[in-house]
Structure 1
Amino acid sequence: MKKFTIVAALVGAVALAGCQDFGPKQGAGTLIGAAGGGLLGSQFGSGGGKLAATAAGVLIGAWLGNSVGSSLDRSDQLYAERTYNQAFEGTRSGTESSWRNPDSGNYGTVTPTRTYQNAGRDCREFTQTIYIQGRAQTGTGTACRNGDGTWAIVNG
Structure 2
Amino acid sequence: MKNMILTLMAVAALGLAGCQTTGGQKQTWGTGLGALAGGLAGSQVGSGSGRLWATGAGVLLGGLLGSEIGASLDKADMAYAQQAQNSAMTSKVGETITWNNPQSGNSGTYTATRDGYSDSNRYCREYQQTINVGGRKETGYGTACQKPNGDWEIIN
Partners of 1:83 and 1:144 lie apart in 2 by: 16
1:152 lines up with 2:153 in the alignment: yes
Q: Give deviations 1:14-37, integer Å, cap 9, x for gaps.
A: xxxxx417658968xxxxxxxxxx
Partners of 1:101 and 1:25 lie apart in 2 by: 20
User: Equivalent residues in 2 for 1:41-120 (5 A)?
Assistant: 73-89=74-90, 91-118=91-118, 119-120=120-121
- 1:115–1:123 contact (8 Å) kept in structure 2: yes
What is the CA-CA distance between 1:74 and the residue it aligns to? 2.3
- 1:25–1:73 contact (8 Å) kept in structure 2: no
Unaligned runs of 5+ in 2: 1-18, 28-69
Partners of 2:22 and 2:152 lie apart in 1 by: 26
TM-score, normalised with respect to structure 1: 0.53
Q: Which amino acid aligns with 1:153?
A: I
Q: Could you say which residue in structure 1 is the equivalent of 2:20?
A: 20
Q: Give deviations 1:10-58, integer Å, cap 9, x for gaps.
A: xxxxxxxxx417658968xxxxxxxxxxxxxxxxxxxxxxxxxxxxxxx
- 1:23–1:73 contact (8 Å) kept in structure 2: no
Residue 155 of structure 2 aligns to a residue whose secondary structure is: strand
Q: Give deviations 1:55-74, integer Å, cap 9, x for gaps.
A: xxxxxxxxxxxxxx98x712
Q: Which amino acid aligns with 1:143?
A: A
TM-align CA RMSD: 2.8
Q: Closer, same or farther in 2 for the Cα pair 1:76/1:149, shift >3 Å?
A: same
- 1:127–1:141 contact (8 Å) kept in structure 2: yes
Q: Closer, same or farther in 2 for the Cα pair 1:21/1:125, shift >3 Å?
A: farther
- 1:116–1:123 contact (8 Å) kept in structure 2: yes
Q: Closer, same or farther in 2 for the Cα pair 1:81/1:26, shift >3 Å?
A: closer
Partners of 1:111 and 1:102 lie apart in 2 by: 21
Partners of 2:106 and 2:136 lie apart in 1 by: 9
Partners of 1:21 and 1:110 lie apart in 2 by: 31
What is the CA-CA distance between 1:83 and the residue it aligns to? 0.8
Residue 79 of structure 1 aligns to a residue whose secondary structure is: helix
Q: Could you say which residue in structure 2 is the equivalent of 1:128?
A: 129
